[in-house]
Structure 1
């Protein structure tokens, strides 16, 4: 820069531009002023030309501290090798004529002396097995050898190996795992204390804050990527407790189970999922927040299993139409669509159409907030639950039970059937009384009563809200219905009360899964 300045300044005579000179004979004062003005302009011009030579430092792509954090925590991040043993099938070797030039080649390839695929043998109980391996990431949280990863990384593994940054490999055993949150706790035995990291407060992480992901993408261990917190409390519908941190830090295959660090070097998330049309990172990754993970990890360490609180209600979201129908004022909370007869909520006096807006002092903004908060509440604890019922707030005291984990039922697909029963049309739905013939046709279990849907107008609001052929309308606004006439009568009564929308209580599928659907009555 100084060399350019030296070259630039003389070119515009900047060193002489401001020298005062005696006026020539006959020079007037205005002429002198004009010369001084021109000289000042030349001086200014010299700086205008020179200034571009002073180049600003290039903007960095992230804070300077990223390298420091990565260096400090790197040795606590590990690669996970999960191996599953699969018995080989006995595939017969092609039969070749004696003396064929390919006979020796095939004998060697198929191991004719009794190996897998040999015409004379095949796999024996003690014979070789095929090994299927997968790669993932993890991190150490206890110098004594506690390692955290994703459940899906090790779920089917017969053998797990933890590979450290210095190349050390240690066999691991599973302490506990949880499919619902996709977390697993492993234990390794080391003859020396291991480098470990600690969890931070993910609730304090802000959108736009810098984060660092370290892991084993595509088998490239110790890979560091940086980005920001793109969003919080993301529900990607992967399970009942979704509340992910979204980040644009590169997360790829093999990063699963690895840590997401804040700039203090604390783990605020466990990298778990990505959205990608190609299988690689497009800047949309998801991490289980530490606030959700830590209680689960503590339970897995202590008991080898999760011990979640249980309320005993089925719930759904509240949309604007439902809020209007229930006189809530605004859409919020978790709407109760069914109460387990043997659950704590039944004992506490919960009812269908109650809208839970606060649980143990915590606001319930959306329905998926409630399962997570209930699950994290200690079993046996008595809590206050505030519900909206008929437009009024009611407080219920409930003592939580223990959730018995069970496989989630698959979502129901829309059914189709030919209309072979006398029908009536209501709000874009062709309906008929539920009888033995329709019950058999749509595989509707005993105990469910109501009006069966035989056809749905594809242009109706009911179709938009996923009312399907084979669904059973059990109630309209808390009143049981057995015919189309019952539905019309109930709708007329609601209109007379000034209502514009009605709550339909609907059972779907062979299991009779219950939900509420709000439909406009015009």
Structure 2
């Protein structure tokens, strides 16, 4: 009974719930229909809106453009870098470049030079002509006594201007040996220029032009201001203006790639050791042109490019303004430069060289000391490493040249050297470079005593003999030579890798505190064996090449030396004196007239070029 009662009660509850749900659903539908009917506009409310007036074609075009600009397509995504602020930055950069170029172009000039090349007589008469052939035709080909005119082009910029004259900066190599110099202003006006002063060490020249021939009001030419190259950072925008290929004023832009590039130029008196490297395109004819920063100020003088093919590859070099400005100030004031001089020839100290000398810090190693120069008077010797000068630490050899050059002449400076494993403090009084150059002291070399004759000796892939008498005679004016003569360098040896070559003269060998002068060939091999016994990894050699001292650090690698000895088995036996080709003069890397190398006899690298040597300080 209870079950039947509860079953009936459950059915009644379900039925009641379903009826209630149906009633609520019907009420909701009625309410929605009533709301829709109430919101429907009546006939009085609905009125036909007046049609808009016809739009003009201009208004329609503007509206279309506005819609296109303001509403991008659904598939397009506006990148963040093209938003209005970025566009404004790009526009500002473009306007900035334009403003710099417009302001600087009137102060940049084209430099044209004419050189007279004297032709030598070949010692024979040219033909007098044949029937029907003019005699002038043969004269053009065979008249070697006639001089030739050679023209070259470069660039420059105006730094000082008065009412009747102006001064222009350019590279010295642009106007060197020129018989006539002309400059062309930006408006194509031609003026004749004269050489006011120059400095070959920095490759800078100053030209003077008279502007009296120009119309009144145009006689004072626009000038450029100097910037500070010491504050330049890698990645900054720069503009180069010059005269590439004689095309006239040309503007290119780029960035600073490096702020201290040492080109290791072959010039004996090279003074610039920190060129600005940049990517602004410069070519032949850009030499002497200006390199400008984003403020339109000169931060460099374009001087060289690196190019395997002869064309621009985006690697240009400029003389920094801090060096150029100091040089130009002296040239304007004295007509020449006045720089400090120490009287040493120096070389970069590499890690291997430092290890050979038992030295951990950097410095400049002394290759030679000028007799009766400031360094010799102070007690500096060949082989010393200069660690500090006037309280400043030396990091590379060229930097020492700059520090000494910028020191006032006659100033007493403290100097710290490394000699035989010890630091030694000294005092030196700075001399004048130009005075020493005029007196011929710059080319001064240490005097050496004669070496004794000895057979050939070999070590580390190097064959050495006594210095041939022929070579000694050529250097007789500089004093008797001392050392051993390299007759062959094995191609698989560390000596070949470092650049030692036949014809070099090894003067001495060094290991930490031990320094030995080489008088006989056997001295060289004995020194190498001694270094092996003491487990040294490197030895340092002082070498004379073309009359200039140079240091080489050689690795003591027994494996390479064994290979060198194996290769020697297939070679002819060595000789006890100078080789026959040395005696005949066929391959000696010295000419008969002087001690300069013959072209083609030695590899083409800066150390083998005429007048090449380490930096002078």
TM-score range, shorter chain: 0.7 to 0.9
Higher Rg: 2
Query: 1:360-414 CA deviation, whole Å, 9 max, x = no partner?
Result: 34442222222233223232222222323344443322111122448999xxxxx
Distance in 1 of aligned mates of 2:469 and 2:127:
53
| Alignment partner of 1:201 is 2:228 | yes
The equivalent of 2:431 in structure 1 is: 401
Structure 1 residue runs of 4 or more that deviate by more than 6 Å after TM superposition? 87-94, 406-409, 441-444
SS in structure 1 of the partner of residue 311 of structure 2? coil
With over 3 angstroms needed to count, the CA separation of the structure-2 counterparts of 1:61 and 1:312, relative to structure 1, is farther
Judge conservation of contact 1:381–1:399 (CA < 8 Å) in 2.
yes
Would the aligned equivalents of 2:458 and 2:525 in 1 still touch at CA under 8 Å?
no
Q: Residues 113-262 of structure 1 correspond to what in structure 2 (within 5 A)?
A: 131-144=149-162, 145-191=166-212, 192-238=219-265, 239=267, 240-242=270-272, 243-262=274-293
Q: Distance in 2 between matches of 1:313 and 1:280?
A: 38
Tell me if structure 2 keeps the 8 A contact 1:210–1:262.
yes
Matches within 5 A, 1:451-470: 451-470=484-503
Q: In the aligned structure 2, how far is the partner of 1:401 from the partner of 1:89?
A: 43
User: Closer, same or farther in 2 for the Cα pair 1:484/1:256, shift >3 Å?
Assistant: closer
Q: Is the 8 A contact 2:344 2:367 kept in 1?
A: yes
Aligned match of 2:376:
346
Matches within 5 A, 1:444-483: 445-446=475-476, 447-477=480-510, 478-483=515-520
1:29-77 per-residue CA deviation (whole Å, 9 max, x = no partner) reads: xxxxxxxxxxxxxxxxxx9953727573679599331111111222111
- 1:504 corresponding residue in structure 2: 541
Partner of 2:114: 83
The residue number in structure 2 matching 1:383 is 413
Q: CA separation of 1:498/1:297 partners in 2, compared to 1, >3 Å: closer, same or farther?
A: same
Partner Cα separation in structure 1 for residue 401 and residue 365 of structure 2: 12
Check conservation: 2:413, 2:429, Cα contact below 8 A: yes
Deviation at 1:254, TM superposition (A): 1.3
Q: Secondary structure at the match of 2:330?
A: helix
CA distance in 2, matches of 1:325, 1:168: 62
Cα gap change, 1:223/1:25 in structure 2, threshold over 3 Å: closer, same or farther? farther
Structure 1 contact 295–376 (Cα < 8 Å) conserved: no
Tell me which residue corresponds to 1:30: none
Distance 2:541 2:29 in 1: 105
The TM-score with structure 2 as length reference comes to 0.65
| Larger displacement relative to structure 2 (377-386 or 190-199) | 377-386
CA positional deviation for 1:294 = 1.5
TM-score of the two chains, using structure 1 as the length reference: 0.76
Q: For the structure 1 residues 443 and 49, does the alpha-carbon distance in structure 2 shift closer, same or farther, using more than 3 Å as the test?
A: farther
Distance change >3 Å, CA 391–CA 466, structure 1 → 2: same
Cα distance between partner residues in 1 of 2:93 and 2:112 = 33
Larger mean Cα displacement after TM superposition, 493-502 or 341-350: 493-502
Over 3 Å counting, the alpha-carbon distance change for 1:508 and 1:215 in structure 2 is closer
Aligned partner of 1:316 among 343, 347, 361: 347
> How many Å apart are 1:484 and its aligned residue?
4.4
Count of residues in Structure 1 that have an aligned counterpart in Structure 2 = 447
Residues 450, 475 of structure 1: 8 Å contact kept: yes
1:189-219 deviation per Cα after TM superposition (whole angstroms, max 9, x unaligned): 2242211112111111111111110111122
Tell me, yes or no, if the aligned pair for 1:76 and 1:197 is still in contact at 8 Å: yes
Structure with the higher fraction of residues in helix conformation: 2
Task: Note the C-alpha offset of 1:293.
Answer: 1.1
1:431 aligns with 2:464: yes
Q: Determine the structure 1 residue equivalent to 2:404.
A: 374
Alpha-carbon shift at residue 287 of structure 1 (Å): 0.6
CA RMSD of aligned residues (A): 3.5
Unaligned 5+ segments in structure 2 are 1-27, 31-70, 213-218, 444-452, 558-617
What is the CA deviation profile of residues 93-134 of structure 1, one whole-angstrom value per residue up to 9, with x for unaligned ones? 87353xx5xx7xx59x87x9xxx8699xx999xxx9754322
Structure 1: how far apart are the matches of 2:126 and 2:91?
59
Contact 1:442 1:470 in 2 (8 A): no
8 Å Cα contact 2:454/2:521 also seen in 1: no
Counterpart-to-counterpart distance in 1, 2:322 and 2:220: 26
Equivalent residue for 2:129?
95
Would the aligned equivalents of 2:455 and 2:521 in 1 still touch at CA under 8 Å? no
Q: Distance in 1 between matches of 2:390 and 2:323?
A: 17
Matches within 5 A, 1:43-82: 50=74, 52=76, 54=78, 56=82, 60=90, 63-64=93-94, 65-82=96-113
Q: How does 1:346-365 map to 2 (within 5 A)?
A: 346-365=376-395
